[in-house]
A and B are shown apart, each in its own frame.
Chain A
């Protein structure tokens, strides 16, 4: 406590006021008492004179416990209690008639306020419980734009015909499907889970792999008002469900995609085509540079085109592509070399038929198709691999069934995605834990 200030002049604490005992007129008659009007007046004037109250309130033992002390002291009739001053400040309640009438006015006010608060509470509750579903319904409606997108997810690969499906396979499937289901639900997209059961129809006469094309066509027929169809392999996981396809890709297609394959060309495809008989459009490297003429969007990995995650736009162009993608003659000649079936066939068409190139656009791989470590070589490549902290949209565990553990990878990524997108409360808790750890160490 600073000594330059005069200490509290409050009664009862007779020690503090310098010379208070000597200068009071009643000093000889009465013992220094709390009801001493002079003391009270002095205190009041001190307050009025502008000593800030913070230094005089609740400081020190006496002022804090003054109430108890004064209550035990004798009270004198007619003496003005210092409380009379404090009453105006609203410290005490429950005495006097005027106060009662005020109480009535307050109830009216309070009722109104209560009603207001109740309404606010309802609004808050409604917001908490219904807002997301309201937004989702809007996105799914005609105006929300979610209907333009259909996610095609392959599932039940071979349907256990070739190999027994164990618990891990089922778990992968469950997780992958529910991941896309949640994502589609959130953004109002439609999800088409397709059964890739091995069929005799596709396993003879060089027809392997035709089913992807057939499924794409069937889905286009099933959703006549959808525009973009997103094919996803089973071993994929959407890491950032808060990214909408519109915002992440399609509203900035012109900026993020490239049509000049020389930008990243692991297959060494000659581009642009140079044949003398071709028109200008076919011979230009970047096509017509108009994002609306893009009808096929995919990414390339270290080995060329990757069809684990790609987009097809409904158009005459894509109808034609889907039509010639599989041709018995070309497949008959090449099926021994085309290890990746439809992927190789598409690469071949891209390389040999110039009409395709203007409408095929690529995005850097990590926009739609990040690889886990282990795919595409062992060292990490920032162009190819999922990086922690990069907040990549999707992970494609490509090739995980060759010497890696699909279920383990999917589990890891699922947990990591959940952690990345955890709620506010978890974030606070984690922050606290971190602080605790930083201060006290240990686990």
Chain B
């Protein structure tokens, strides 16, 4: 018989041709295998997560505050009444926002200072507070000659919040005023920041700074407190040492944010050397009577009283 077209191939496949790679059977098998392996992986992942959390860092106990206010009190220098006003002001602020106060005795650290000026005591005091509250995150060192004037502001919303901090960080400015050639880094992210500090017209201001607990804090405080720095006879002791560290050691600078002075460190009108826009204005969180203890013409107690009364009035209104 003759056909115009060659006959179609029948369903029977030539015995030597390879069967298609994915037969129905095999596809089914593969599918089952895939589902099984995914399920196994998921179970493994879940289990590892479960067991990992148990070996990981211990969660902070309930009730620990996120922030500790560190105050170093020199009981030989100030009267009890004066110190009471300060502590009362801080206790009130801490209580409102669930913070903790750590009042350190300067005399506790005398034996570690050697012949160095007593102002060095703030460094071991912050380290001490960190040891005392190991699960708190932020440690706010505030000079005793200062008052919280606007107790309604939380430090989180005022400074520590990521977006807020990003807006406040001063980039590419000399770390040590007025004209250090070392400038703060431009590309720092708020997540990298462990130390928030301000400058006045002359110096980095050690009277008010916030330090985040962790490896950096340990490193930073121990370096700062190095015996050879203490014995170096800097004119401004720990302040100049801090300036030295910040300018010579980029690992510190990379963790530091300079913030505008008035955020946590507004100076009173009588204080010298306030930075640009550093004088206290109504509504600022904090007022500091900077230099009232070193200048013999000034009196911390009388300067404080005026603002203390203002603060008391505010409390009564509420």
Contacts and interface: CB of A to CB of B under 8 A. Distances in A.
A333 B222 contact: no
A353 interface: yes
A328 B226 CA distance: 13
A328 B248 contact: yes
Interface in A306-365: 316-317, 319-320, 323-324, 327-330, 333-334, 348, 352-356
Contacts of A169: none
B231 A333 contact: yes
Interface string B80-119: 0000000000000000000000000000110010000000
A292 to B, nearest CB: 13
Given A275-B112, A323-B249, A355-B219, A333 B128 contact: no
B306 to A, nearest CB: 35
A125 interface: no
B228 interface: yes
A381 interface: no
Given A277-B128, A317-B215, A324 B109 contact: no
Given A282-B218, A329-B229, A333-B228, A324 B128 contact: no
Contact of B222 (A280, A319, A323, A353): A353
Contacts of A354: 218, 222
Contact of B131 (A280, A320, A334, A353): A280
B227 interface: yes
Contacts of A263: none
A348 to B, nearest CB: 8
A69 interface: no
A352 B248 CA distance: 19
A330 B226 contact: yes
B127 A277 contact: yes
Interface string A264-285: 0000000000011111101000
Nearest to B104: A277
A276 B112 CA distance: 10
Contacts of B222: 353-356
A266 B66 CA distance: 43
B227 A275 contact: no
Interface string B218-248: 1101110011110110000000000010001
B251 A323 contact: yes
Given A277-B125, A277-B131, A278-B127, A352 B227 contact: yes
Contacts of A317: 215, 219
Nearest to A275: B112
A107 B218 CA distance: 82
Given A329-B228, A329-B244, A352-B226, A319 B251 contact: yes
Contacts of B249: 323-324, 327
B250 interface: yes
Given A276-B108, A277-B109, A330 B124 contact: no
B125 to A, nearest CB: 7
A317 B222 CA distance: 13
19 contacts: A277-B108, A277-B109, A277-B112, A278-B131, A279-B127, A279-B131, A282-B218, A316-B215, A317-B215, A317-B219, A323-B249, A323-B251, A324-B223, A327-B249, A329-B229, A330-B226, A333-B232, A353-B222, A354-B218
Given A277-B124, A333-B231, 9 more contacts: A275-B112, A277-B108, A279-B218, A316-B216, A319-B251, A329-B244, A348-B228, A354-B218, A355-B218
Interface of A: 275-280, 282, 316-317, 319-320, 323-324, 327-330, 333-334, 348, 352-356
